[in-house]
Each structure stands twice: as C-alpha cells, then as structure tokens.
Chain A
Amino acid sequence: KAGVTQTPRYLIKTRGQQVTLSCSPISGHRSVSWYQQTPGQGLQFLFEYFSETQRNKGNFPGRFSGRQFSNSRSEMNVSTLELGDSALYLCASSSGQDREKLFFGSGTQLSVL
C-alpha cells in the first residue's frame, strides 16, 4: 500500500504570491490533517478534513485554507505569502478503524523569499 504522498517536495515562492500544496492519503483513509513545522514554533495543527468537510481548525489566519475532494485527496492553499510562512508542511491521514494512528507524508518544504 502506498504511503501518504505530498507534492511538490520543495517549493520556492516570493512574498505576496499564493501557493497550493497537495496531499494524497493512504488508500481507504478518509481523514486528512495538515501541520506546519518550523524551527521556532515546532509542529502546529492547521486543519483536518473528513469526507470533504473541515472537522477541526487550528489557530492560523484566514490566508491558510484547505479542501478535500471526494477521493479524499486534499489541498491546502496559502494566499499572500509572508516570509514567516516558510516551513515544512506535513499532511497526515488516518482510517476510520484506527483514528488515533496518523500516517504522515514526507512533507512539502516551502521557502518564501
């Protein structure tokens, strides 16, 4: 079974631009969550989607948004990028039977110049 796949692996953007990151969960997993990892703030929860609905949201500004498609694939979007948005963005998925076990992707490293 393929793991959680995140694309692209690396991304370089400039301030003010917007970016879209993609996440394909493990086949059969319907829950997808996103985390931001930075050296200063560590790992912080962004949001969670289940069956195309946002179920939980972290404490991030409205510039950060996401969505989930009917095939459980998820995207997150960051608009009007700021230097502080430079981070590793991790996606995780879980199954209905084993909800507490999250499987993480390798992440997308976003650099904002």
Chain B
Amino acid sequence: AQSVTQLDSQVPVFEEAPVELRCNYSSSVSVYLFWYVQYPNQGLQLLLKYLSGSTLVESINGFEAEFNKSQTSFHLRKPSVHISDTAEYFCAVSEYTGFQKLVFGTGTRLLVSP
C-alpha cells in the first residue's frame, strides 16, 4: 500500500517570494507521482507529474518538482509566487497499473499575501 505525507497544512508567503511545498511518500512498489491544485469551489487540476526519465519536472505556470528516490520525496517549488497561486495543493501517488487510483496527501493550503 502507498501513503503520502504533506507535513505542512498551511504555508503563508508574501507575493514574489519563493515557496516549497513538501511531499514524502511510502510505497513497496514503483509509483507515479503527481501534484494537483484545487482552487476554491472547484475540482482538482493536474499541475505536474513524474512518470519516468528526468527527475525534475516543470509546469507551464512556473512550478517545478523534483523526484528524489532515496529520500522518497517529491517537493513542489516555485521561485516567485503570485496572489493567484493561492490554492490548496495535493501530492498524490499511483501504482503503475492503477493510474486512476490515486492516493492523496492531506493537502497544503498556500496563502499568498501582498
């Protein structure tokens, strides 16, 4: 079975500051890793994913995440945040054979203030 730990339930930052949202996972098999974002009153949107290959993956809006197998981590980073990045961010894993069966972390609420 897999599990995902997001230690920070809330991360307050000022606009244009860098941010890192932490994610650690546990699994006895190889997994795929994802970050999803949820804006208020909306469903989840895929932010980025790691399937294989380069351990650094990037999204189109400036976020990046690095897969670290030895530390079983997949932390999300952004060098400069905007007010519009305020949302809840979920880290998730899935087994190779069960893409739709995601195991989610408890989420991290990113609060960006001016």
Binding site for B on A (CB under 8 A): 4, 31, 33, 35, 42-45, 48, 55-56, 58, 90, 92, 94, 99-107
Contact = CB atoms under 8 A, between A and B. Distances in A.
A104 B45 contact: yes
A94 B101 contact: no
> 7 smallest A-B Cβ distances: which pairs?
A104-B43, A43-B104, A33-B100, A48-B100, A104-B44, A100-B99, A99-B99
B106 interface: yes
B32 to A, nearest CB: 6
Interface residues of B, number: 24
A90 B43 contact: yes
Contact of A107 (B43, B46, B100): B43
B44 to A, nearest CB: 4
B51 interface: yes
A59 to B, nearest CB: 10
A94 B99 contact: yes
24 contacts: A33-B100, A42-B104, A42-B105, A43-B102, A43-B104, A43-B107, A45-B100, A45-B101, A45-B102, A45-B103, A48-B100, A48-B101, A55-B100, A56-B98, A56-B100, A56-B101, A58-B101, A90-B43, A99-B99, A99-B100, A100-B99, A102-B44, A104-B45, A106-B42
B94 interface: yes
A22 B2 CA distance: 29
A106 B41 contact: yes
